[in-house]
Amino acid sequence: MFSIERQRSADRLDFFRQVEAREQDLHSQNHEKEGYILRAAEDIGGLRVLFYRSSPVDIYTYNVEAYMWPGNGGYRLSTTVATGEKPQVPALLDFVKDMHPIGAGAVAPSGAFCLDGLYLDKGNQRLLASMQATIREWHGARAWVSVLENENSLADEALDIHYDIERERNAAKDILAEDPSTASDPGYPKTVKSLRDGTRDLDGMPGQELVWKKVLNSGVEVYHLRWQTDTAPNGVTVGMDVGDEDDPVPSPRQEEIIALWDAILSTLRQR
């Protein structure tokens, strides 16, 4: 699954200057075991693709960013893959083929998904539209809501409410099995603990709630909170994330985080 975001650039030259600056910034950041967090930068099918670690101690996931200029502006596509997985470049290229600029007489066909200057002729693509807001005075905290488009496509396990927590647990086990010494790395998760996991109805809407807490060896605490309609993966997901794995700023107390989460969910209404 890929995220798409339009980049604010004056023109094509300015856009690729920003991409180059992004690449240089990643290359300047050291990694404790691999030299630099940037692992590769390649030109693939008209895209500039960057593969990098999310932090100086991360050894079990890659972030992938692909930059493109389809004619009317610059766009960034991003995703995250586990170290043991082959980055989904072929899937990314297939996805890009369905993206077309709007403007200069171009009109999006009926049923297409429009996104800030582009339309996506989605066919059987499963699309997730979302919006998010940062939480003031809380470091590394955001709340968001997403809605799934195209319920007739094949199910995607990445959209399951338990996908992220299971991936984190399995990735940690796999890395530890390959190199037991990683158990002492500051960025290795000491615990990934579920705090809530069960059914929760909101304003008559049946759904599933999942809340989990990850504690790294460095002492950093990260919280992930999710609620999803029971019609998922063809419905609505509400989420909140608190904490930054790369920054040791203390998170708010767990009770405060849960209280805000419950307050957010209490505002949800059916239309």
Residue 160 neighbours by CB under 8 Å, 6+ apart: 232, 233
Q: Please give the model's pTM, rounded to 2 decimal places.
A: 0.65
pLDDT (tens digit per residue) in 198-229 = 999 998 889 999 999 999 988 899 999 999 98
CB 224 within 8 A of CB 207: no
Looking at residue 154, its pLDDT comes to: 42
- Report the pLDDT averaged over residues 66-78: 86
pLDDT (tens digit per residue) in 146-171 = 877 655 444 555 567 888 888 888 88
Nearest to 123 by CA among 115, 131, 133, 113: 113
Q: Domain spans of the chain? A: 3-97, 130-265
Q: Which residues are paired to 188 by β-bridges?
A: none
Tokens of 146: 């997403």
Residue 237, class by beta-carbon neighbours within 10 Å (0-12 exposed, 13-18 middle, 19+ buried)?
A: buried
**Topology of the domain comprising 130-265:** Protein Transport Mog1p; Chain A (3.40.1000)
